[in-house]
Amino acid sequence: MQKHLPDPFALEGMERISIRDAIFREVTSNILIHREYTNAFPAKLIIERGQVRTENSNKPHGIGVLDPATFTPFPKNPVIGAFFREIHRADELGSGMRKMMRYGKVYGDADPEMIEGDVFRIVVKVPEFGVADERGIGLQEAHDEAHDKAHDKAHDEAHEPMNEIEQRILHACLNASQNTRELLALLGYERRTGNFKKAFSRLMDLTYLEMTIPDKPRSKKQKYRLTERGRKVLKRIEGGSE
């Protein structure tokens, strides 16, 4: 990937990041972690003009293009997944799709596609080295535009002030892990409202919260706890800098 694909300048907050490496770290770990190893179909990663696509043997839990808004991650090889997390080559279950969707459009000007079936396919659009894109923008301009988009998106997400519900969720998880029912009770809700779902989803997307059992996201024993990043942002809030 590093040899054959460009890496436009991008910032997340105040730090330079490689959106190319962030995307394809998730793509390649997906190939290894979620493969159906009893199938002899060879895994493929193909770099083409304007896109990268993968094909991998799969034990499907649905058919067709996955919708990030309704997608529920399923641990197909939990032992392999746990090992990859131990060596820091993967994060919590489901985070890969969120990262690919977050960075993919900035990188290739189109959302990545993940297609479920007996063969699992991923298609990621990519920019070209030194070639004006279809909108007539040269490489330097494309780099500048990608930088602006990545910076604005990351800044909006990471620096938008926490609303009251988000702050209360963070406080609730400060000293002890909480399951969804416990969080709702602590916040005084009888059920998961739209505002609660939106706040909780944002905290997960920003990795301020994490699962205590990432290999089994639907476990009845699933709880959520603050990450180190979540503790830092809560400390900033309490210090009056939010």
pLDDT at 47 over 80: yes
- What is the spatial distance between Cα 188 and Cα 208, in angstroms, rounded to a whole number? 21
- What is the spatial distance between Cα 145 and Cα 9, in angstroms, rounded to a whole number? 9
- What is the spatial distance between Cα 170 and Cα 193, in angstroms, rounded to a whole number? 17
Location of each CATH 1.10.10.10 domain in the chain: 161-238
Residue 116: φ, ψ to 5° = -85, 140
Other Cβ atoms closer than 10 A to 141: 13
- What CATH number does the domain located at 11-158 have? 3.30.565
- What is the spatial distance between Cα 69 and Cα 241, in angstroms, rounded to a whole number? 32
Tokens of 160: 């938008």
CATH fold label, 161-238: Arc Repressor Mutant, subunit A (1.10.10)
Residue 54: φ, ψ to 5° = -125, 155
DSSP readout, the chain? -TTTS-----EETTEE--HHHHHHHHHHHHHHHS--TTS-PPPEEEEETTEEEEEEE---SS-EE--TTT-----SSHHHHHHHHHTTS--STTHHHHHHHHHHHHHHSS--EEEESSEEEEEEE-PPTT---TT---HHHHHHHHHHHHHHHHHHHHHSPP-HHHHHHHHHTSSS-B-HHHHHHHHT-SS--HHHHHHHHHHHHTTSEEESSTT-TT-TT--EEE-HHHHHHHHHHHTT--
Place of tokens 């926490």: 162
What is the per-residue pLDDT for 159?
55
pLDDT at 242 over 60: no
What pLDDT digit, counting tens, does each position of 177-190 carry?
999 999 999 999 98
Q: Kindly report the pTM of this predicted structure.
A: 0.52
- Answer whether 19's CB lies under 8 Å from 8's CB: yes
Location of each CATH 3.30.565 domain in the chain: 11-158
What is the per-residue pLDDT for 73?
75
Which range among 34-38, 59-63, 137-141, 203-207 shows the weakest confidence by mean pLDDT?
137-141
pLDDT at 153 over 90: no
**Backbone torsion region of residue 186, taken as left when φ is above 0, otherwise alpha when ψ lies between -120 and 50, otherwise beta:** alpha
64-74 average pLDDT score: 79
